[in-house]
Amino acid sequence: MSERDDEEREFDIKWADGAEHKEPSARARMLAARWKENPPGPVPFRADPEHVGRSGRRSSWVSTAVVLGCVAALIVLLGYANFRASY
């Protein structure tokens, strides 16, 4: 690109950013049309404390332990295969 093209492009970006009215995206238009007919219900910012229990936290720890165990087993298996291939 020449220097003149860069200047023109910069001018176009400044001109577009300075527009008074910006058209909403297609997704925003779709959601506005859908919500006009059927508005969404209220959604809490955080879950109710009664719905959060120990089982939810335990399951995340269990899944984390399973993933880390699989990764460790894969590393050991690849190391063993590399060790056997070198002899």
Q: Where in the chain are the domains? A: 54-87
**What span, in angstroms and rounded, lies between the C-alpha atoms of 8 and 4?**
6
pLDDT of res. 53: 56
pLDDT tens, position by position, 62-82 = 889 999 999 999 999 999 888
**What span, in angstroms and rounded, lies between the C-alpha atoms of 76 and 68?**
12
CB 10 within 8 A of CB 18: no
pLDDT tens, position by position, 6-57 = 666 666 777 777 777 778 899 999 999 999 999 988 877 776 666 555 555 5
Q: pTM of the prediction?
A: 0.34
CB 32 within 8 A of CB 24: yes
**What span, in angstroms and rounded, lies between the C-alpha atoms of 76 and 70?**
10
Which tops the pLDDT comparison, 58 or 65? 65
